[in-house]
C-alpha cells in the first residue's frame, strides 16, 4: 500500500504537431530514474483549442505541461500569471498548475541555454568579453536574456532582416547592438562567444555562411541547432581549434526546471539520457 501514498503526477507537452517532441522521452526517463509515480505524455492540441486544452489541465489533474510550436506565444494571453522571464522572452514554454487551479506560465529556455553553455565550456566567463548572436527570432530572445543576465558586457546582434535585430536591440537596452547581416564576419573580432540562433545549418537547410577568420582562437562557438549534432558551423570552429557547445544541451537543460516544478526534484542529465536522446537524432 505504501507506494499509493505517493501521488500520481501527470504532465505533458502541447504542440501541433507534437509527435516529433523528445520531451516525453526525457521526462519519462527522469520519472523512472527517480522512482516516481507519474507520466509525461504528448498532447496534440490545435491552435484554436489551446485555451480549452490549457483550462482542462487542472480538471484532469495535471501538474502542468510544456508548450511547443505553435503555442508558445499565444499562451501569454491565456494564462493567469506570467513570470517576468517569460514576458522578457515573449513566450511560455512551461505551464504550472497552481494549488488554486490557476495557471502560471514561465520560460526555462534562458536557463537551459546558459546551463548548457557552462556545462560544455566551464572556462567561459560571461563578463570577460563581448558576444555575437546571429538571428533575431524566438530562440534569439531566450539566448539574449540568458547572456544579459549572466553579465555579458556587449552583444552584437546580426540578423538577415535588420529591422528585427534593431527592434530587439531597442527592447533589450544598450547592451545589445544591432549590426547589419553583412557585418557578421567582421563583428567576430574580439568576440568571446559566437551563438547561432538561426535555423541555418539544420538538417535539410543551407549551412550558415560565415567566415570565422576574425574570431579569436579561444572564443566559444555555440549553435542551438541540434540536428545534426555537429553543424557545419561547429565543424568549422573545431577545425580551427575553437571550443564549441552543441545545441542539444539547451534542449536537455530547459527540461530540468520544468520537471522540478511538477515532480519536485531537479534532475541531472545522465550519460544514459544523453545517449538515449542522441540515438533519436
Ligand atoms: P526560432 O523561434 O527558432 O528562433 P524564428 O523565429 O522563425 O525561429 O527565427 C528564425 C531565425 O533564423 C530568424 O532570425 C531568421 O532570419 P529573418 O528574421 O531574417 O527571417 C533566421 N533565418 C532563417 N533562414 C535564414 C537564412 N536563409 N538566412 C539568414 N537567416 C535566416
- Rounded CA-CA distance 68/81 in Å is 18
pLDDT exceeds 60 at position 144: yes
Torsion of CA 88, 94, 99, 103, to 10 degrees: 60
Residue 30 lies in a domain: yes
Write the residue with the smallest CA distance to atom 6 of ligand 1: 137
| C-alpha cell at position 281 | 537524432
91, 157: one domain: no
Tell me, yes or no, if 174 is annotated catalytic. no
Domain match, 94 and 193 both = no
Whether residue 231 lies inside any domain: the answer is: yes
CA of 141 to the centre of ligand 1 (A): 12
Find the CATH number of the domain harbouring 225.
3.40.50.720
Q: Does residue 97 share a domain with residue 137? A: no
Q: Assess whether the C-beta atom of 258 lies below 6 angstroms from ligand 1.
A: no
Q: How many domains does the chain have?
A: 2
Q: Are residues 80 and 150 in the same domain?
A: no
Q: How far, in whole angstroms, is CA 194 from its chain's centroid?
A: 16
Q: Which residues contact 105 (CB under 8 A, 6 or more apart)?
A: 75, 76, 79, 81, 82, 83, 86, 92, 94, 95
Q: Are residues 133 and 233 in the same domain?
A: yes
User: Structure pTM?
Assistant: 0.96
- The domain containing residue 60 runs over which residues? 9-108+252-278
Query: Does residue 2 lie in a domain region?
Result: no
How far is ligand 1, taken at its centre, from the CA of residue 36, in Å? 39
Kindly indicate the confidence band of residue 222, based on its pLDDT and cuts at 50, 70 and 90: very high
Same domain as 169, residue 103: no
Residue 1 has pLDDT above 70, yes or no: no
Answer whether 144 contacts ligand 1 (Cβ < 6 A).
no
Examine the domain organization and report whether 23 and 93 are in the same domain. Answer: yes
Same domain, 140 and 230: yes
Residue 23 pLDDT exceeds 60: yes
103 and 59 belong to one structural domain: yes
pLDDT of residue 5: 76
In a domain, 3, yes or no: no
The reply to whether ligand 1 has any atom less than 6 angstroms from the CB of 160 is: yes
Amino acid at each position: 500500500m505504501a507506494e499509493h501514498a505517493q501521488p500520481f503526477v501527470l504532465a505533458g507537452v502541447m504542440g501541433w504537431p507534437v509527435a516529433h517532441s523528445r520531451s516525453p522521452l526525457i521526462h519519462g526517463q527522469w520519472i523512472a530514474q527517480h522512482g516516481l509515480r507519474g507520466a509525461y505524455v504528448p498532447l496534440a492540441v490545435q491552435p484554436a483549442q489551446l485555451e480549452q486544452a490549457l483550462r482542462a489541465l487542472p480538471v484532469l489533474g495535471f501538474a502542468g505541461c510544456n508548450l511547443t510550436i505553435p503555442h508558445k506565444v499565444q499562451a501569454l494571453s491565456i494564462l493567469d500569471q506570467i513570470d517576468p522571464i517569460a514576458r522578457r522572452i515573449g513566450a511560455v514554454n512551461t505551464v504550472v498548475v497552481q494549488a488554486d487551479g490557476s495557471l502560471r506560465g514561465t520560460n526555462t529556455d534562458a536557463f537551459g541555454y546558459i546551463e548548457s553553455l557552462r556545462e560544455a565550456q566551464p572556462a567561459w566567463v560571461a563578463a570577460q568579453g563581448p558576444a555575437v548572436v546571429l538571428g533575431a527570432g524566438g530562440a534569439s530572445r531566450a539566448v539574449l536574456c540568458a547572456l544579459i543576465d549572466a553579465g555579458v558586457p556587449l552583444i552584437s546582434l546580426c540578423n538577415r532582416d535588420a529591422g528585427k535585430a534593431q527592434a530587439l536591440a531597442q527592447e533589450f537596452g544598450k547592451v545589445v547592438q544591432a549590426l547589419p547581416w553583412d557585418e557578421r564576419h567582421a563583428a567576430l573580432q574580439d568576440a568571446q562567444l559566437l551563438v547561432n540562433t538561426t535555423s541555418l545549418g539544420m538538417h535539410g537547410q543551407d549551412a550558415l555562411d560565415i567566415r570565422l577568420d576574425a574570431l579569436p582562437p579561444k572564443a566559444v562557438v555555440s549553435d542551438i541547432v541540434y540536428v545534426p549534432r555537429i553543424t557545419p558551423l561547429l565543424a568549422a570552429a573545431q577545425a580551427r581549434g575553437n571550443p564549441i557547445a552543441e545545441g542539444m544541451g539547451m534542449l536537455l537543460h530547459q527540461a530540468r526546471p520544468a520537471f522540478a516544478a511538477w515532480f519536485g526534484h531537479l534532475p541531472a542529465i545522465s550519460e544514459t539520457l544523453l545517449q538515449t536522446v542522441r540515438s533519436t537524432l
